[in-house]
Amino acid sequence: NAGVTQTPKFRILKIGQSMTLQCTQDMNHNYMYWYRQDPGMGLKLIYYSVGAGITDKGEVPNGYNVSRSTTEDFPLRLELAAPSQTSVYFCASSREGSYEQYFGPGTRLTVT
Amino acid sequence: GQQLNQSPQSMFIQEGEDVSMNCTSSSIFNTWLWYKQDPGEGPVLLIALYKAGELTSNGRLTAQFGITRKDSFLNISASIPSDVGIYFCAGLYNFNKFYFGSGTKLNVKP
For chain B, say whether A38 makes contact (Cβ under 8 Å). no
For chain A, say whether B85 makes contact (Cβ under 8 Å). no
For chain B, say whether A45 makes contact (Cβ under 8 Å). yes
Contact criterion met (CB < 8 Å) for B42 and A104: yes
| pLDDT band, residue A90 (cuts 50/70/90) | very high
Which residues in chain A touch residue B44, judged by CB atoms under 8 angstroms apart?
103
Q: Which of B45, B97, B101 sits opposite A101 (nearest CB)?
A: B45
Which residues in chain B touch residue A103, judged by CB atoms under 8 angstroms apart?
42-44
β-pairing verdict for B10-14 and B104-109? parallel
Q: What is the pLDDT of residues B7-23, one digit of tens each?
A: 999 999 999 999 999 99
Q: What are phi and psi of A98, to 5 degrees?
A: -120, 145
Residue type, B95: F
A-B Cβ pairs (cutoff 8 Å, strict): 58
User: In Å, what is the CA distance from B58 to each residue of B47, B49, B64, B79?
Assistant: 7, 12, 12, 14
Please tell me the predicted confidence (pLDDT) of residue B31: 92
| pLDDT band, residue B2 (cuts 50/70/90) | confident
For chain A, say whether B86 makes contact (Cβ under 8 Å). no
| pLDDT band, residue A1 (cuts 50/70/90) | low
